[in-house]
Amino acid sequence: MRIGLDIMGSDHGPSVPVRAAVMAQGELPDDVRLVLIGDEAVIRQVLATEKADPDRFDIVPSRDDITMQDSATKALQTKSQSSIALGFGLLKEGRLDAFASTGNTGAMLVGSVLSVKPIPGVIRPCICSIVPKENGDYGILLDVGANADCKPDVLYQFGLLGALLAKHVYRIKDPKVALLNIGEEEKKGNSVTLAAYQLMKEGGQFNFIGNIEGRDLFNSKADVVVCDGFTGNIVLKAVEAFHDLLKKRGVHEPFFDRFDYENYGGLPVLGVNGNVIIGHGISNAATIKNMMLFTRDVVLSKLNDRIREALL
């Protein structure tokens, strides 16, 4: 197994992902090879500082890398030797089993759609977020930003993609899928959620439990919560802001610590022909290490094969 890691996307500079790779390499089995994509001089310098054998890694030099300020589509077209462009090229050619980055999220999404492309039958690839639960478990919220406007059939498919992720990667048996709405009743919502409800109710491809309200996000009613990317992104940013507010006010409660996005290594882009993992730019070395371990789990789960089978 070969996992590519974008070294140039971290908010903390390239040394942090390199240290993370060294940490991950110490925990991964010998059949996993990490491919470090970025500034070769920096990579070798940090490997030397960490007393890591450079022969245990593959190094792919990049240049003119994509920044957080770059336009995603334009940057991928004009910066063909950037770490993100090179990573997608290797993934498309089958020389990587997965590609992970904490860099420009827009560029990662555009690369996923334009380079490795959606799985046949997938209407809209999407991104998700982990939601901590009161009982100590975690749930999945999707979409959280890739698709601001969604038709009912897209929301239905998000339910399927989320259920497959929950089952095959997070090992949740028969995950409960819910539609985020303004009320629990079947007739609540706008025209899109009303139609999506009927599709989910009649579809039979996953365990649909009906509507839930925002106050149910953190209890055990649902394992997978479906919404359009506009709503999901607002929910995600509001939760992050609430966590930061409590932190600034000196409030410490273990449950709220689990809202810290630095604790989550990364999550896959669902519905594309390749294992693409997106992490947060502020991630520290331990978090990026966890992203590497999680990426291996995603590859081993054969999630994309499960998606293809479900769409036949």
State the CATH number of the domain containing residue 226: 3.40.718.10
Strands 224-226 and 176-180: parallel
pLDDT digits (tens, 9 = 90+) for 185-214: 999 999 999 999 999 999 999 999 999 999
Is residue 96 a part of any domain in this protein? yes
Is residue 283 a part of any domain in this protein? yes
Same domain? For 70 and 19 the reply is yes
pLDDT at 281 over 90: no
- Residue 240 has a pLDDT of 81
**Rg value, the chain, Cα:** 19
Q: Which two structure tokens, joined as six digits, stand for 118?
A: 């959606």
Residue in 310, 296, 144, 158 with CA at minimum distance from that of residue 232: 144
Is residue 180 a part of any domain in this protein? yes
Same domain? For 118 and 145 the reply is no
Task: Calculate what percentage of the chain has a pLDDT beyond 70.
Answer: 98
- Residue 260 has a pLDDT of 66
Q: Which domain holds residue 233?
A: 123-264
Stronger pLDDT, 51 or 67, i.e. the higher one: 51
Same domain? For 115 and 193 the reply is no
Same domain? For 152 and 218 the reply is yes
Same domain? For 99 and 18 the reply is yes
> What backbone phi and psi angles, to 5 degrees, belong to 100?
-125, 145
Same domain? For 139 and 22 the reply is no
pLDDT at 263 over 80: no
What average pLDDT score do residues 220-245 get? 91
Is residue 311 a part of any domain in this protein? no
Is residue 9 a part of any domain in this protein? yes
Is residue 309 a part of any domain in this protein? no
Domains contained in the chain, number: 2
- Residue 266 has a pLDDT of 86
Same domain? For 174 and 245 the reply is yes
Same domain? For 72 and 188 the reply is no
Stronger pLDDT, 85 or 73, i.e. the higher one: 85
What average pLDDT score do residues 63-92 get? 90
67-71, 102-106, 139-143, 160-164: least confident range: 67-71
Same domain? For 138 and 247 the reply is yes
Q: Are 99 and 9 in contact (CB under 8 A)?
A: no
24-28, 169-173, 223-227, 282-286: least confident range: 282-286
pLDDT at 261 over 80: no
Same domain? For 217 and 242 the reply is yes
Is residue 74 a part of any domain in this protein? yes
Same domain? For 194 and 244 the reply is yes
Is residue 258 a part of any domain in this protein? yes
Q: Which two structure tokens, joined as six digits, stand for 79?
A: 């910066």
- Residue 92 has a pLDDT of 95
Same domain? For 110 and 131 the reply is no
